[in-house]
Structures are given as C-alpha cells and as structure tokens.
Amino acid sequence: MTTACRACQAGLEHCHGALIHHAYQRDECTEPDCFAAHAAHDVHLDCSSVGCVCDEVLTGFGSAHRVS
Ligand SMILES: [Zn+2]
Ligand SMILES: [Zn+2]
Ligand SMILES: [Zn+2]
C-alpha cells in the first residue's frame, strides 16, 4: 500500500505544500524549500485567509500617494 499521490507515482515535479497568493508580494509556499512551479501546486490559498493584510496596507499607502 502506498500513500503517494498520482503525481508522486508518475515522478512529476510538484509540491504538497500550499501556495499562498499575496496581493502585493511574491507568492510563497508553506514548504520552506519549495522549488516547484506555480501550477505544480494542488493547494492555493488567498493570503487574507492566512491572516496576511498586505493588500490592506498597500491600499492605504496608495490613497496617500495618489498622483493626479
Ligand atoms: Zn505527490
Ligand atoms: Zn499577503
Ligand atoms: Zn510549494
């Protein structure tokens, strides 16, 4: 019996971590040594769902530095 996923069995490059999508920062993976491609992740999370507020911070700065 194996617990490996299909991609593991097929030897495909992929990641079992969750890729966290930030609004204004680089995407980051929950796996510290992740080298898999963006599309190689099964799990994708919005950064706000993990407590990140990078979009709210940037929105505040944006209104203060608005150029017209
Ligand atoms: Zn796998
Ligand atoms: Zn974020
Ligand atoms: Zn990853």
Token pair in block for residue 26:
């680089």
Say which ligand is closest to the CA of 4.
1
What pLDDT was estimated at residue 19? 96
pLDDT for res 4: 85
Ligand 2 centroid to residue 28 C-alpha, Å: 9
Q: How many CA atoms lie within 13 A of 31 on its CB side?
A: 17
d(CA 38, ligand 3 centre) in Å: 8
Q: Which of helix, strand or coil describes residue 34?
A: coil
Tens of pLDDT, residue by residue over 13-67, are 999 999 999 998 899 999 998 989 999 998 999 999 999 998 776 565 555 555 5
What's the CA gap between 9 and 27, in Å, rounded? 27
Q: pLDDT category, 10, cuts 50, 70, 90?
A: very high
Helix, strand, coil percentages in the chain from 3-state DSSP, rounded to 5: 35, 20, 45
Question: Which DSSP letter does residue 19 get?
Answer: E
From ligand 1's centre to the CA of 19, what distance in Å?
15
* Proximal ligand: closest to the CA of 49: 2
